[in-house]
Structure 1
Amino acid sequence: MATHALDAGLEDLAASARAELVQEIDASGAWAADPVWREAFEAVPRHLFVPYYYLGVMGGYERRGCDADDARGREEWLRGAYEDAPLATRVREGELVSSSSQPSLMAQMLVELEVEDGNAVLEIGAGTGYNAALLSHRLGDGLVTTVDLDPEITETARQHLADAGYHPTVVTGDGARGVPERAPFDRIIATCTLDTIPDAWLAQCRPGARILAPFATGLVVLRVRDSGQAQGRFLHTPAYFVPLRGGSRSEPEPQDLGALPRRVRGDDRFRFLLALTRHSLAPYEAYALWEREGQPTRDRFGITVSGGRSRAWLDDPEGPYAWPLP
């Protein structure tokens, strides 16, 4: 069953489900600061980008797809495609390697990117191609570039985009290196978690460019001053994404939290502080800071990049609390 060949009943269901999703995002206030994004979410059919996806079940994943044998299965797939939820789209050996993000979070990130007409945008992590389609609808195909390390992912994203009528530049390569042949960029948005800010991104940005990326378990927004300097704060919003592959990324060592109070070990905001300072502070040091500073939320933290080095900080980039990043 081709991704674009729905019968009339499912086409009607797709239209109504998309309208319901738009209403849900609208009610959340995600695009209140830039309601033009509503038009993109109304126009771009998400189901074309997730012809199948996986639901977590006991012991693994269960597949749902447009190729289900019965009408009820296809209807369940279609309804799920328009839920305001992340969808696992590629699993290898039991490990999630690609997903379609929660639409309301995507909307919030696109608003925070603060795109303007004529902006050239680089997306790190092509995923299904849905986010690139939203950007292309807003800006036009010629201004949007998306890159992914996995050729299967980029080829699939390219096909999804074509099925939906969009043709941005899709590149197979290491996102940590950017796409120099398409630079300079006015905006960079990552849809994968970083553990460092790649120098190549700053070098490929125009002065004044904006970078939005998942970092630790938050979203940081950086303003680029020049090819070697950028600074910005985290949003209040938690964010969990598949890690960036490629570059020099290494898996973090697990931390022993057994000596910390149980109420703290599971606190989402404390886990963010742990992730942000894991290269600089032991867990008990992070806990002491956490309590001393009134259990700070994500938006009290920021990142500065200067001279090839990055550091995270609390409240003030020149204040007493700052930690080097890899």
Structure 2
Amino acid sequence: MKKESKIYIAGHQGLVGSSLIRVLKKDGFQNLIGKSRKELDLTEQSEVNAFFKMERPEYVFLSAAKVGGIHANNTYPAEFIFSNLQIQNNIIDASYRFGVKKLVFLGSSCIYPKFAKQPMDEGQLLDGKLEPTNEPYAVAKIAGIVMCQSYNRQYGTNFISVMPTNLYGPRDNYHPQNSHVLPALIRRFHEAKISNMPEVVIWGTGNPKREFLYSDDMARACIFLMNSYDVTNDARGGEHVNIGSGIEVTIRELAETVQKVVGYSGKLTFDLTKPDGTPRKLLDVSKLHQMGWKHEVDLHDGITLAYQDFIENGATER
């Protein structure tokens, strides 16, 4: 990409898209396009095609998606598979039809089998059964990977797919029921602090391990791959690339870090009668490391930045 290249960020107002905008601007890219849901309905093919015909973006970051935690995935499974399929189908096809030079499609680590060997490398895709609680979302994301590969094979496009680990950072979703574990912990400890609650209870033993990546690091990885990863000569259509820190922490360590950052002085209790979930979930990021990219923001510093954002933007979210 050149500094003057016209770049479309689909989903520019969310956690992922806003990080892409922020990092691209910091790197000197100014010709950036973003449309709100009111301005452009990405589930409507005619609207998407009209937008691409008018704007003619050269590069596309496809970060728009319907996302949520376990509660949201279980409550709205039809919406998750329908909306995500519609959005990515429309944008990928329009990118081909209107001559986009390169596209980055962002998926999720939930594409891997529930019992995948750890750490999870790119070759484990479609190698076992998915986690049932987010299967509709995962199936949609897998379809996006295969769609990019198929367009590359048939039309000679250069559409690449990336699979980030658990992300957090500015513009995260702090909703009490529909958020992921890290923003949920930030809200819980903050509310316990301001309400002088004597303890915060966490489900399970605290022993399961998870990997987290600050959203601006994810953006830097996507821009790095946009500039350096080429799949036009790959007869298979190109393999997706994992994006993560390669570092895992226990839920207990995560909770203790959030507690420290928030400044909550009460007791941290683990409810052993509640389930733990998957024991371990770590991406193998050796492929990305071999390409020359590694993350910059450590977990404590990232949570500190995320908590500042919560205080400024997310504390009133319900």
With the length of structure 1 as denominator, give the TM-score of the two structures. 0.24
Work out which structure has the larger RCO, using CA pairs closer than 8 Å and 6 or more positions apart in sequence.
2
Which is richer in strand?
1
With the length of structure 2 as denominator, give the TM-score of the two structures. 0.24
